[in-house]
Amino acid sequence: MEKNKLIDEFYSLIQVDDPEGHYAGDIKDNSYFGMPLDAIVKAEKRLRSPEQPGLAYFSMEYGLATSCYNKLSSQFPLKPSNKLPENAVFSNFRVADYFFALRQDNIIDLPIYSGGLGVLAGDTVKTMADYNLPAAGIGILWNSGYFRQKFWFKYGQAPEKMHWDPATYPGLIPLKNRIKISLKPEDVHLRLWKYYVYSYKHDSVVPLILLDSNIEPNSQRARQLTDQLYRSDNVWLKMLQRVVLGFGGVGALNELGYNTGTYHLNEGHAVFAFVAKARGLPKDEVEHLKSKFVYTCHTPVEAGHDRFSFDDLSKVLKKEDTEVIERFGREQSGSANLTLLSMNISSAINAVSRNHQRVMHIQFPKYKEQIQYVTNGVHMHTWISREFMNLFEKFPETFNDFKANPMILSKANELKSNADFRTQAWQAHQSNKAGLCGLLDKWKLDKDIFTICWARRVAAYKRPSLILHDINRLVSIAEKTGPLQIILAGKAHPNDNLGFTYINEMLDTVDRLKEDYSKLKIIVLENYDIYLAKILTSSVDVWLNNPLPPFEASGTSGMKAILNGVLQMSTVDGWVAEATDRKMGAFFGYKNAEGSVGNEFDLHMNEDSKELYRSLEDLVGLYYRTNRQGKADTSSAWIDMMIECISVAGQFNTYRMLDQYKHLIWKTA
C-alpha cells in the first residue's frame, strides 16, 4: 500500500513520457533504476514548496562520470551505442597499436560535456545532493554529444559525429512537458528530460533538467540546436545554443513549478536566463532581478568570452530583449559581451581561484570590489579510487567521518611518521598502477617504471606538447636517470586549428621516435573521457600540469590526482598557486609579471621545457631511489610527498567549495 502511494506520488510529480510503458520496469516500488525512489519524491516536493526557495544551477555542460560513480541500472541490456567505443592507441610500440585497441566494457559517460568545466558542474551538483540542498541543474541534452575523437594515423585528430541513445540511457527519462521559446524567426519547442543525480548515500537527489530541441514541430534547423555541444562554426547556432539554455531553462523551471530563489550562471553561456526573466517587467523591477542572479567566471582566455553583434541578436530576439542586453551588456566596441552582461546583472561574481581573481581584477578594474573568488574543487566520492578509500578506512582515528566530511583528509599529515600508513599508501598506489598496466598490458607498461601523464582538453595555453619539446633531452634523462613511461591524451575542439596542430605534433613526434621502447615509452590515448581520467589520475606516479600562467583559471585534474596520492609536477597557475608551500612534487616555469596578464600566444616553450626537464630529472632520480626494481624504500621523501598530496586534497574538494558558495555567493549559510 505504502509502495503504491509512493509510485503514484512519483508519477503525479513527474510526467514521464512513456506511451509504451518502456520505463515501468525500471521505475517501480521504491526503485528508480536501482536507486531509492523516495529520494526523488522528497526532492521534487521540496523544489515546489513555497517556503524554501531553491537554487537553479545553469551550465552548458555536465560531466557526471556516470560510468564510474552512482551508476544507474536498467532491466534492459545496454544498447551498443551507449557502450564505450573501442579506442585506438598511438605509441612508439607500433606493433601493439596495429594489432590492439582499448576495449572497456562499460557504459559511456552521459555525453553532455567537453572537459573540465563540465566535470566541475557535474561534481558541483553531486555535492549539492550530498549536502541535501534544494537545487536543480539546468543543461542541454546534446543529441550527438560533443564529438568522438579518432586518430587519423599520425596526421592528427579526425572528429567524428557521436551516436548515442538517450531513450535507453539508464536513469535518463523524457517528460511530457514541452516548452516554447518565442523568437523572431520562429518559435522553438523544447522537450524536457530528467536525470537524477544521487548523493553518495543515495538518500537525496538533485534533478538535472535537460533541454532538447530535436522534436516536432521544430524546423530542421531548430532541431539542430541541441545536436552538438559548442558549435562555433556558425554564429546563428552558437547564439541560439545560449538562447536555448537561458530562455529554455527559465521556461522549464516555470513549467515544472519550481520555486527558484537563486539563479547561478556557471559561465556567461547561461546569461540569457536573465533576459528571459526580464521579459515583460518594468525597468525598476528588472533592476530588482539582479538580487537573484549570481555568476561564476571560468576563464581569462579571450576566446572564452562570448561576443555577438546586436545586428545578429536582433534577428533572433525581440526588441525588449535586445534593449535589456543593450542596457547591461554593450561594450565599447558596440558588441554585446556576455561576460560584461553577466557581471552587470549579478549580485555576486566570482573567479575560480585566487590567481584568477587577480587576473579578473586586471581585466575588469571597474568590478574589482565585486569580484570574489571560490577556488574549484573535485567531488571526493567520484575521484577517489577504491584502494585509497580502503586505505583511509583503515585509519579511522585520523580519518574519522571523512566520507561525510572530506576536509578531514587534511589530517593525513599526522600520519607521516606512521610506518604502517606509509607502507600501505605505497601499496595502494602500486595496486592502482598495476590496474593501469593491466589495461595497457599489450603495451607492456611496467609498474616499477616511472610514469607521468598529461591529459586534459588540448588547448594552446595548456601546452600539451611541452614535455615533447626537446626529445633528445628526454631520451638522455631516460638513459642517465632511469626509464620513463609517458601517457598523453586529450581532445581539441574541432574548430580549434591550433589545437589540432598539437595533436598532430604529438603523434608525429611519437612516430619519429627511434629509441629503445624499454627505455622510453610514449603512449597517446584516443578519445579522452571521464572514465579514462579516473583511471589515469589515480594510477600514474606524477601528474603533469603545465599551463602558461596566468591562463589556467583553476584546473581540477591535479586535485583528482592528489586525492590518490599522485605527485604533482606543475607550473604555478590556477589552484596550484594556492598550494606552492606544500611539498607535493615539483613546481616550475614562467611566471607572469605581477599586475599584468601577458600574452596568451607567447608560450615560452624553450625556457619552460628546460625547467620541466630539470624538475623531471630530479623526480625520476628520487623515484628510482624509492622504488628499487619493485623493492620500496618507504622512508623515502617520495612517500612524504604522497602523504602531503592527500593532506592538500582536504582543501581542494567540492565540499569546501560549496561551503564557500553558501557564505560568499548564494548567502544561504
Ligand X SMILES: *Cc1c(COP(=O)(O)O)cnc(C)c1O
Measured from the CB atom, the residue of 402 and 543 that comes closer to ligand X is 543
**Cα–Cα distance for residue pair 561/539, rounded to 1 Å:** 8
Report the residue number whose CB is nearest to ligand X: 116
Please report, for residues 274, 281, 349, 352, 371, the alpha-carbon distance to residue 340 in angstroms, rounded to integers and kept in the order given.
13, 21, 11, 17, 12
Least distance CB 456 / ligand X (angstroms): 4
Residue 650 neighbours by CB under 8 Å, 6+ apart: 406, 407, 408, 409, 410, 411, 412
Least distance CB 488 / ligand X (angstroms): 13
Percent of the chain as helix, strand, coil, to the nearest 5: 45, 20, 40
Interface region with ligand X, contact rule CB under 6 A, candidates 71-79, 303-311, 528-536, 632-640: 528-536
Least distance CB 651 / ligand X (angstroms): 16
Q: Residue 292 carries which DSSP code?
A: G
Q: What is the DSSP string of 236-259?
A: HHHHHHHHHHHHHHHHHHHHHT--
Measured from the CB atom, the residue of 224 and 545 that comes closer to ligand X is 545
Please report, for residues 381, 649, 653, 665, the alpha-carbon distance to residue 376 in angstroms, rounded to integers and kept in the order given.
16, 12, 7, 14
Size of the site for ligand X (CB under 6 A): 14
- Taking CB under 6 A as the rule, does residue 119 contact ligand X? yes
x/- track of binding to ligand X for residues 421-460 (CB under 6 A)? -----------------------------------xx---
Measured from the CB atom, the residue of 140 and 535 that comes closer to ligand X is 535
Measured from the CB atom, the residue of 174 and 464 that comes closer to ligand X is 464
Residue closest to 142 by CA, chosen among 71, 250, 38, 224: 224
Interface region with ligand X, contact rule CB under 6 A, candidates 84-92, 112-120, 363-371, 616-624: 112-120
Measured from the CB atom, the residue of 264 and 298 that comes closer to ligand X is 298
Measured from the CB atom, the residue of 35 and 648 that comes closer to ligand X is 648
**How big is the CA angle at 560 (ends 556 and 565), to the nearest 5 degrees?**
135
Measured from the CB atom, the residue of 264 and 463 that comes closer to ligand X is 463
Least distance CB 538 / ligand X (angstroms): 11
Please report, for residues 360, 477, 543, 579, the alpha-carbon distance to residue 450 in angstroms, rounded to integers and kept in the order given.
38, 12, 11, 24
Answer positive or negative: Cα dihedral of 445, 481, 579, 646. Answer: positive
Least distance CB 555 / ligand X (angstroms): 4
Please, which residues bridge with residue 151 across strands?
157
Question: Taking CB under 6 A as the criterion, which residues in 532-591 touch ligand X?
Answer: 533, 545, 555-557, 560
Residue 154 neighbours by CB under 8 Å, 6+ apart: 90, 504, 507, 508, 510, 511
Cα maximum dimension of the chain = 74
Measured from the CB atom, the residue of 227 and 529 that comes closer to ligand X is 529
Interface region with ligand X, contact rule CB under 6 A, candidates 91-99, 434-442, 469-477, 527-535: 527-535
Least distance CB 22 / ligand X (angstroms): 31
Least distance CB 264 / ligand X (angstroms): 20
Measured from the CB atom, the residue of 61 and 255 that comes closer to ligand X is 61
Measured from the CB atom, the residue of 292 and 560 that comes closer to ligand X is 560
- Taking CB under 6 A as the rule, does residue 111 contact ligand X? no
Question: Taking CB under 6 A as the criterion, which residues in 170-209 touch ligand X?
Answer: none
- Taking CB under 6 A as the rule, does residue 530 contact ligand X? yes
Report the residue from 255, 267, 526, 529 that binds ligand X according to the rule CB under 6 A. Answer: 529
- Taking CB under 6 A as the rule, does residue 356 contact ligand X? no
Q: What are phi and psi of 665, to 5 degrees?
A: -110, -55
**Cα–Cα distance for residue pair 175/191, rounded to 1 Å:** 7
x/- track of binding to ligand X for residues 484-523 (CB under 6 A)? ----------------------------------------
Cell of 47: 523544489
Interface region with ligand X, contact rule CB under 6 A, candidates 114-122, 267-275, 289-297, 492-500: 114-122
- Residue 661 CA, chain-centre distance (Å), reads 18
Could you count the other beta carbons within 10 Å of the beta carbon of residue 106? Answer: 14
Least distance CB 165 / ligand X (angstroms): 22
Single-letter amino acid code for the residue at 97: D
Question: Each residue of 402-433: b (16+ CB within 10 Å) or e?
Answer: bbeebbbbbbbbebeeeeebbebbbebbbbbb
- Order the strands of the 89-91 sheet from edge to edge: 89-91, 520-525, 484-489, 450-455, 542-545, 567-571, 585-588
Measured from the CB atom, the residue of 156 and 555 that comes closer to ligand X is 555
x/- track of binding to ligand X for residues 245-284 (CB under 6 A)? ----------------------------------------
Measured from the CB atom, the residue of 68 and 523 that comes closer to ligand X is 68
Least distance CB 547 / ligand X (angstroms): 8
Measured from the CB atom, the residue of 493 and 560 that comes closer to ligand X is 560
Measured from the CB atom, the residue of 335 and 564 that comes closer to ligand X is 564
Least distance CB 560 / ligand X (angstroms): 6
Cell of 118: 563540465
Q: What are phi and psi of 611, to 5 degrees?
A: -65, -40
Least distance CB 119 / ligand X (angstroms): 4
Measured from the CB atom, the residue of 560 and 656 that comes closer to ligand X is 560
Answer for the pair 136, 192: CB distance below 8 angstroms, yes or no: no
- Taking CB under 6 A as the rule, does residue 115 contact ligand X? yes
For strands 135-140 and 54-58, give the pairing: parallel
Least distance CB 530 / ligand X (angstroms): 5
Q: At what angle do helices 386-393 and 419-439 cross, to 10 degrees?
A: 160
Answer for the pair 267, 206: CB distance below 8 angstroms, yes or no: no
Least distance CB 442 / ligand X (angstroms): 23
Measured from the CB atom, the residue of 452 and 530 that comes closer to ligand X is 530
Question: Taking CB under 6 A as the criterion, which residues in 293-322 touch ligand X?
Answer: none
Residue 669 neighbours by CB under 8 Å, 6+ apart: 659, 662, 663
Answer for the pair 212, 251: CB distance below 8 angstroms, yes or no: no
Least distance CB 65 / ligand X (angstroms): 8
x/- track of binding to ligand X for residues 11-30 (CB under 6 A)? --------------------
Least distance CB 557 / ligand X (angstroms): 3
Least distance CB 201 / ligand X (angstroms): 23
Positions in the binding site for ligand X (CB under 6 A): 115-116, 119, 456-457, 528-530, 533, 545, 555-557, 560
